[in-house]
């Protein structure tokens, strides 16, 4: 019998198909994405990682056992150090050039981080685990899908980004996040409907985050 994560993945097939068809990812995989769009994405994702790390830290504090707590806490640290450094290095590259203005969270970025932090703080542990899982799994899936194309290119401008999410450590971490979420579902079967909803909402936010990056989304009336 399949676990919760398999059921959640199947239930979001249409959203994930839309993710696979995004112009942003097609152009990123081909290496033709405009540097401006990639800079916008990286700036927003750097802001997102701060909120995601807070959600993971809240999840760690509510974990049912030391092993789960250690994994989520380690994931929060990884967001704050490893992925943040990757983004900083890429943003400082000659390809992207200097930032025009200091970045502020876009509507989509603010909505996604607010949803994750609120869910991690107030929903049952199992529901919170389901909410943070798509960020792992969708990126692992996209990284693995784009990696052959990026590796085959003679000079791919975004190869390092693709390689980071196709790399074994990230794929292994994604598998562990799935196992912990499946375990949470088994321990709290009554929470599965809310878990499926949380997984679907976060998956839709993954779609909207890349759509917003391609459009270089901003507020209609800046502060």
Separation CA 190–CA 188 (nearest Å): 5
Cα torsion 98, 158, 18, 139 to 10°: value is: -100
Q: First and final CA of the chain: distance in angstroms?
A: 52
- Among 198, 90, 78, 128, residue whose Cα is nearest residue 70: 78
- 122 Cβ contact partners less than 8 Å away, ≥ 6 residues apart: none
Separation CA 211–CA 49 (nearest Å): 18
Domains and CATH numbers, the chain: 4-215 (1.20.910.10)
Model confidence over 48-105: pLDDT tens digits? 999 999 999 999 999 999 999 999 999 999 887 777 788 888 888 877 777 777 889 9
Separation CA 141–CA 133 (nearest Å): 12
Model confidence over 145-199: pLDDT tens digits? 999 999 998 889 999 999 999 999 999 999 999 999 999 999 999 999 999 999 9
Model confidence over 113-155: pLDDT tens digits? 999 999 999 999 999 999 999 999 999 999 999 999 999 988 8
């Amino acid at each position: 019998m399949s676990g919760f994560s398999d059921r959640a993945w199947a239930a979001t097939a249409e959203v994930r198909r839309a993710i696979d068809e995004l112009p942003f990812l097609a152009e990123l995989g081909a290496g033709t994405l405009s540097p401006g769009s990639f800079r916008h994405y990286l700036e927003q994702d750097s802001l997102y990682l701060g909120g995601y790390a807070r959600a993971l830290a809240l999840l760690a504090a509510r974990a049912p056992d030391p092993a789960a707590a250690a994994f989520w806490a380690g994931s929060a640290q990884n967001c704050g150090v490893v992925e943040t450094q990757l983004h900083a290095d890429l943003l400082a590259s000659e390809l992207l050039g200097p930032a025009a203005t200091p970045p502020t969270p876009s509507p989509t970025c603010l909505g996604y981080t607010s949803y994750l932090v609120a869910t991690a703080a107030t929903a049952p542990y199992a529901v919170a685990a389901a909410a943070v899982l798509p960020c792992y799994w969708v990126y692992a899936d996209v990284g693995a899908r784009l990696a052959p194309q990026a590796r085959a290119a003679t000079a791919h401008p975004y190869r390092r980004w693709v390689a980071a999410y196709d790399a074994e450590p990230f794929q292994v971490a994604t598998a562990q996040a799935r196992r912990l979420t499946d375990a949470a579902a088994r321990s709290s079967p009554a929470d599965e409907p809310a878990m499926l909803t949380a997984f679907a909402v976060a998956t839709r936010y993954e779609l909207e985050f890349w759509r917003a990056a391609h459009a270089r989304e901003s507020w209609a009336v800046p502060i």
